[in-house]
């Protein structure tokens, strides 16, 4: 009887221990599954960007996306994770956990998830700089983005996993899953890249009017857009870093915003009397996804939809603005990730649940957006400028004529169909 | 096999020349002018039309503007042969065959393919944007040294450009120089008519040039 009473008294503790263990296990499963979804976004980027490029550059675009994951992952593990999440006493960058080993199981899951984020930030620039960038020079840029530019800014916002806290986080800056941390940073890097590169041959007439250079496969673009959409459920949903009941609202907001983004883009195309293009519509939905990333956990669905709708409009206007500035962004990455990301981060403050239109919060959001631009853009501009002057960032016009598939990789994407324009200098 | 292809190609050209002439001349004049082309100009570069036009205007006393005739002929050469009317008095065709067989083989296949290709490509390019013809030529000449064309070859390029292809293009050019010269046209063409239209013109020109027998010996794609 005595032993029975003792056993009964211990049971709640045993159950509690089991519950905690179970919670950790479920969290791990969710984080890893979400990370896998984020990884799958790379396939979306590859399809979308190669589809929007001409067939003679399809292999090059896919190669860049593929290697972004490889390089981004390794560099982030070597230095990025430490800079972003290491002990952050200064608030400006982490200073521990470089080449992380012997971590706890949960830390490994977190590192895996964050590695996928880093790879996403890196790959944004590839589409904008497509069709005229030298492959090795691009990869060097990707290495520096994943190793320095992305993690340093990330530490300002999310750098409180161990000791210390980032200075923007201390201000109360809201960027739940990275509208600015991941997407705007990637967008500003892309902007710097296309400024240093210059436009593709013949993109603008002598009078400065842009010419359409259509991608070679819009079906791939649509498939890529849908894969990104799917992956975003992991991107935003996984940012809880726990199997949490709030995930329902987060993924619902994500989905509604994407849908509204496409509608916003179409509405803006109609308002400005432009043709309603598939590429713009897909970019609009991705703009919606980028836009809601900051506030998906802290916004009611109605405002998520509004955020996405406006993000879609921002994308269309952003593409037009870049063309007016004679900047050649092949896939619209700067508008989708840079501009829509900035808008989404502001929206996270404007439509903050239970504290809407709080000017102080909106001002903090503005500081975060501005800090992201002032950090990423000039550093990336300097980086690409130095790469251009040393290695050479821009492919020669002869390589551009022949297509980077042939000139950079010596293989072509569609050998059965590319019979007219393929250079046959060697046999 | 090669001779059959050559005959087919020349028959197509003859039909196109006739149809181009017929668009602005009376039938009699068009037939006579086609005969003149067959006997004296069919072995010349296809788009080098100026001497042919001078000759028929003088000999047949034609009052139609030369530019107008040229435009119709170029348009006809670029059109589908199946949509064009047959040439009356087809009896002249054997004469042409003999003429062609006697034509001296002065240049090798690579130069012939290159010349044919450039003729097609440039005619189509200048047709689509005649206003920029001079600018494109100036750009090509100014930059020819950058692609390894200098000295005698540079003079020949200049003459070739200034005389609208009426003189034979450089027979001493290497494949690399051909690639360079074409590339200069590609760059300036992208600037003036855009990369999409440029690629379209190249594809069309390649399709035509690949029908020539010389293309079996030297692939036109080697000059890209």
Separation CA A423–CA A412 (nearest Å): 10
- Both tokens of A373, joined, read 């631009």
Give yes or no for residue B160 having a pLDDT over 70.
Answer: yes
* Mean of per-residue pLDDT scores for chain A: 93
Q: What is the DSSP letter of A394?
A: B
Instruction: Report the chain B residue with the minimal C-alpha distance to residue A210.
Output: B194
Smallest CA–CA separation between B174 and chain A, in Å? Answer: 12
Residue for token pair 């000039």: A378
In this structure, of A161-165, A361-365, B92-96, B127-131, the range with the lowest mean pLDDT score is: B92-96
Across A18-22, A268-272, A379-383, B66-70, least confident range: B66-70
A76 vs A109: CA distance, rounded Å: 14
B199 contacts A398? CB cut-off 8 A? no
Contact indicator for A151, A171 with CB cutoff of 8 Å: no
Buried b (16+ CB within 10 A) or exposed e, B17-47: bbbbbbbbbeeebbbbbbbbbbeebbebbbb
Pinpoint the alpha helices (H) of A200-300. 218-237, 247-271, 278-292
Q: A423 in contact with B at a CB cutoff of 8 Å?
A: yes
Give me the percent of chain A exceeding a pLDDT of 70. 93
What pLDDT does A427 receive? 39
Decide if A423 and B221 are in contact by the 8 Å CB cutoff: yes
Determine the distance in angstroms separating the CA of A404 from the nearest CA of chain B, rounded to an integer: 13
Highest mean pLDDT (candidates A379-383, A409-413, B103-107): A379-383
- The residue in chain A having the minimum alpha-carbon distance to the alpha carbon of residue B183 is A398
Q: Is the pLDDT confidence value at A388 over 60?
A: yes
A286-336 pLDDT, tens per residue?
Answer: 999 999 999 999 999 999 999 999 999 999 999 999 999 999 999 999 999
Confidence band, pLDDT 50/70/90 cuts, at residue B46: low
| Contact of B161 with B140, CB cutoff 8 Å | yes
Region at A373 (left for phi over 0; alpha for psi -120 to 50; beta for the rest): alpha
With contacts defined as CB-CB under 8 Å, which chain A residues touch B202? Answer: 420-421
Q: Is B134 an interface residue toward A (CB < 8 Å)?
A: no
Q: Which residues contact A248 (CB under 8 A, 6 or more apart)?
A: none
- Asked if A206 lies within 8 A of B202 by C-beta distance, the reply is no
Q: For the beta carbon of residue B150, count every other beta carbon within 10 angstroms.
A: 13
List the beta strands (DSSP E) in A281-347: none
A17 touches chain B (CB under 8 A): no
Given CB atoms, is A370 within the 8 Å cutoff of chain B? no
pLDDT score for A174: 97
- A97-107 pLDDT, tens digit per residue, is 999 999 999 99
Q: Which residues of chain A does B195 touch, with a Cβ-Cβ cutoff of 8 Å?
A: 200-203, 211, 213
pLDDT digits (tens, 9 = 90+) for B55-97: 888 788 888 887 788 888 877 877 777 777 777 754 444 444 4
How big is the A-B interface in CB pairs under 8 Å? Answer: 58
The tokens describing B7, both together, are 């005959």
Examine the pLDDT at A280 and tell me if it is beyond 90.
Answer: yes
CB contact under 8 A, A202 and B183: no
Q: Let me know if domain A26-409 sits in CATH 1.10.3430.10.
A: yes
* Interface contact A401-B219, CB threshold 8 A: no
Is residue B103 over pLDDT 50? no
All structural domains of chain B with their residue ranges: 2-102, 109-223
Highest mean pLDDT among A160-169, A201-210, A220-229, A403-412: A220-229
Distance from the B206 Cα atom to the nearest Cα atom in chain A, whole angstroms: 7
Mean pLDDT over residues A259-285, rounded?
Answer: 97
Record: contact B202-A421, CB cut-off 8 A: yes
For residue B54, which of B221, B207, B166 has the smallest C-alpha distance? B166
Q: Provide the total of helices (H) and of strands (E) in chain B, helices listed first.
A: 10, 0
pLDDT band at B220 (very low <50, low <70, confident <90, very high): confident
- Mean per-residue pLDDT for A65-92? 96
Helices A135-144 and A359-390: angle between axes, nearest 10 degrees: 140
Question: Scanning every residue of chain A, which has its alpha carbon at the shortest distance from the alpha carbon of B207?
Answer: A420
Residue B135 has what pLDDT? Answer: 84
The residue among B80 and A22 whose pLDDT is bigger is A22
Read off the pLDDT of each residue in A388-409 and give the average, rounded to a whole number.
92
Residue numbers in A near B190 (CB within 8 A): 201-202
Least reliable range by pLDDT among A164-168, B20-24, B213-217: B213-217
| Chain A positions in Cβ-Cβ contact with residue B175 (cut-off 8 Å) | 425
Contact (CB<8Å) B186/A401: yes
Reply yes or no on whether the pLDDT at B15 is more than 80: yes
- Please indicate whether, in this complex, the C-beta atoms of A200 and B187 are within 8 angstroms of each other: no
Q: Rounded to an integer, what distance in angstroms lies between the CA atom of residue A48 and that of residue A127?
A: 9
Residues of B in contact with A212 (CB under 8 A): 196
Residues 6+ apart with CB under 8 A from A262: A281, A282, A284, A285, A288, A312
Prediction ipTM score: 0.82
Instruction: Collect all residues with Cβ–Cβ distance below 8 Å to B108 and sequence separation of at least 6.
Output: B218
Q: Tell which wins on pLDDT, B87 or A88.
A: A88
Q: What residue segments make up the domains of chain A, in order of their start?
A: 26-409
Poorest-pLDDT segment among A88-92, A166-170, B67-71: B67-71
Q: Does A326 touch chain B (CB under 8 A)?
A: no
């Amino acid at each position: 009887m005595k032993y029975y009473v003792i056993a009964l008294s211990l049971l709640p503790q045993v159950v509690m221990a089991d519950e905690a263990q179970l919670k950790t296990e479920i969290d791990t499963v969710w984080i890893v599954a979400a990370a896998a979804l984020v990884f799958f976004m790379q396939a979306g980027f590859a399809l979308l960007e190669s589809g929007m490029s001409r067939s003679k550059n399809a292999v090059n675009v896919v190669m860049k996306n593929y290697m972004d994951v490889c390089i981004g992952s390794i560099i982030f593990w070597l230095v990025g994770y430490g800079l972003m999440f290491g002990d952050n006493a200064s608030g400006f960058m982490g200073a521990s956990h470089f080449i992380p080993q012997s971590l706890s199981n949960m830390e490994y899951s977190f590192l895996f998830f964050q590695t996928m984020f880093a790879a996403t930030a890196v790959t944004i620039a590839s589409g904008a700089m497509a069709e005229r960038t030298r492959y090795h020079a691009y990869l060097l840029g990707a290495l520096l983005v994943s190793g320095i530019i992305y993690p340093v800014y990330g530490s300002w916002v999310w750098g409180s996993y161990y000791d210390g806290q980032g200075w923007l986080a201390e201000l109360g800056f809201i960027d739940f899953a990275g509208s600015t941390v991941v997407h705007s940073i990637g967008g500003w890097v892309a902007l710097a890249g296309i400024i240093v590169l210059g436009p593709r041959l013949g993109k603008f007439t002598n009078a400065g009017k842009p010419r359409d250079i259509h991608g070679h496969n819009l079906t791939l673009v649509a498939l890529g857009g849908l894969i990104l959409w799917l992956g975003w459920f992991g991107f935003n949903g996984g940012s809880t870093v726990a199997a949490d009941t709030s995930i329902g609202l987060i993924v619902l907001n994500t989905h509604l915003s994407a849908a509204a983004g496409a509608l916003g883009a179409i509405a803006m195309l109609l308002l400005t009397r432009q043709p309603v293009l598939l590429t713009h519509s897909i970019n609009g939905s991705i703009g919606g996804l980028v836009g809601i990333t900051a506030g998906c956990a802290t916004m009611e669905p109605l405002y998520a939809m509004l955020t996405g709708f406006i993000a879609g409009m921002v994308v269309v206007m952003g593409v037009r603005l870049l063309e007016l500035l004679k900047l050649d962004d092949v896939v619209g990455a700067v508008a989708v990730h840079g501009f829509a990301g900035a808008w989404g981060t502001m929206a996270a403050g404007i439509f903050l649940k239970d504290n809407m239109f709080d000017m102080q919060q909106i001002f903090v959001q503005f500081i975060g957006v501005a800090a992201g631009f002032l950090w990423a853009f000039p550093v990336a501009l300097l980086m690409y400028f130095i790469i251009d002057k040393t290695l050479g960032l821009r492919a020669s016009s002869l390589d551009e004529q022949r297509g980077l598939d042939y000139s950079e990789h010596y293989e072509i994407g569609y050998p059965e169909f590319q019979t007219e324009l393929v250079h046959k200098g060697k046999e | 096999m090669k001779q059959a292809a050559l005959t087919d190609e020349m028959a197509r050209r003859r039909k196109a020349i006739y149809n181009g002439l017929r668009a602005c001349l009376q039938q009699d004049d068009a037939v006579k002018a086609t005969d003149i082309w067959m006997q004296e100009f069919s072995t010349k570069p296809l788009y080098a039309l100026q001497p042919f036009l001078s000759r028929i205007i003088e000999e047949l006393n034609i009052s139609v503007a030369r530019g107008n005739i040229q435009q119709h002929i170029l348009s006809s050469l670029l059109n589908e042969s199946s949509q064009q009317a047959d040439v009356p008095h087809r009896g002249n065709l054997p004469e042409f065959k003999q003429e062609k067989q006697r034509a001296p083989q002065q240049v090798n296949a690579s130069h012939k393919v290159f010349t044919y290709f450039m003729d097609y490509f440039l005619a189509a390019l200048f047709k689509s944007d005649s206003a920029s013809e001079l600018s494109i030529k100036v750009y090509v000449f100014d930059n020819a040294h950058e692609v390894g064309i200098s000295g005698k070859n540079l003079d020949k390029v200049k003459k070739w450009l200034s005389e609208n292809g009426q003189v034979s293009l450089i027979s001493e050019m290497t494949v690399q120089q051909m690639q360079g010269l074409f590339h200069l046209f590609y760059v300036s063409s992208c600037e003036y008519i855009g990369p999409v239209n440029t690629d379209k013109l190249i594809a069309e020109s390649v399709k035509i040039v690949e029908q020539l027998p010389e293309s079996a010996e030297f692939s036109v794609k080697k000059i890209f």
